[in-house]
């Protein structure tokens, strides 16, 4: 599939006895560097949602930032950008640094003063203030003076209705089955599980429990 730049559509069973779902099979090409294999060849499985699982959030129009606010933010970012880029080798893990410091002091029969240890991962607030302190103050003043900054982009929801409990998943119901506690499930939980397996949901609770029990017996 990789040479033809194609993907495959398949039915995917995440685990034994679970409901199938659609998935994409995306080929992965082997990558090799000087040390050897960097990325192994194979297939990536990407599950696809069903239609009723796709929700489009409402998009409300919002006012953008003013030009002076944007320009001040850009200036701050440029001032704070590392000229040489980020090199993880320049930032020692502080836990390991303290450990090695104590180890070295013990080996040399010296005392380790943790106050003298420099944690390179901690922000240098003094330098930050010297570089962008005035810009940050001007940016904050510009935002606070803009009436649009007090507006909600999305109004917070205020609901007084009780939230419905989320339906139990197959693994949770299977745990009840393994423990012999299917009868502890509510009628709604039993019906929800049976409905997900395209099984009848009519009858009394005892009949629903038997139906769920039979399904797990045949799918163990």
Quote the pLDDT of residue 164: 59
Distance CA 163, CA 161 (A): 6
Residue with the two structure tokens 């390179």? 120
Contact between 208 and 186 (Cβ < 8 Å) = no
Q: pLDDT tens digit string along 49-81?
A: 887 777 877 777 667 788 899 999 999 999 988
For residue 21, the cross-strand partners are 12
Quote the pLDDT of residue 41: 92
Backbone dihedral region for residue 113 (phi beyond 0: left; psi -120 to 50: alpha; all else: beta): beta
Distance CA 164, CA 152 (A): 27
Q: What residue ranges of the chain have pLDDT lower than 70?
A: 61-62, 150-167, 220
Contact between 167 and 189 (Cβ < 8 Å) = yes
Q: Residue 29 CA to chain centroid, in angstroms?
A: 26
């Amino acid at each position: 599939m990789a040479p033809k730049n194609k993907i495959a559509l398949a039915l995917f069973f995440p685990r034994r006895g679970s409901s199938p779902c659609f998935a994409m099979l995306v080929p992965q090409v082997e990558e090799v560097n000087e040390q050897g294999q960097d990325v192994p060849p194979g297939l990536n499985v990407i599950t696809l949602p069903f239609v009723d699982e796709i929700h489009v959030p409402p998009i409300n129009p919002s006012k953008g930032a003013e030009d002076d606010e944007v320009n001040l933010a850009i200036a701050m970012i440029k001032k704070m950008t590392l000229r040489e880029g980020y090199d993880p080798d320049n930032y020692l893990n502080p836990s390991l640094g303290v450990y090695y410091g104590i180890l070295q002091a013990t080996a040399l029969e010296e005392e380790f003063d943790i106050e003298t240890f420099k944690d390179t991962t901690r922000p240098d607030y003094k330098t930050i203030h010297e570089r962008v302190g005035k810009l940050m103050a001007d940016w904050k003043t510009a935002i606070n003076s803009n009436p649009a900054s007090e507006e909600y982009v999305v109004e917070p929801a205020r609901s007084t209705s009780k939230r419905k409990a989320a339906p139990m998943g197959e693994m949770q119901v299977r745990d009840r089955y393994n423990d012999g506690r299917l009868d502890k499930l509510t009628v709604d939980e039993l019906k929800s599980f049976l409905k997900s397996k395209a099984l009848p949901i009519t009858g009394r609770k005892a009949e629903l429990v038997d139906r769920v029990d039979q399904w797990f017996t045949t799918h163990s």
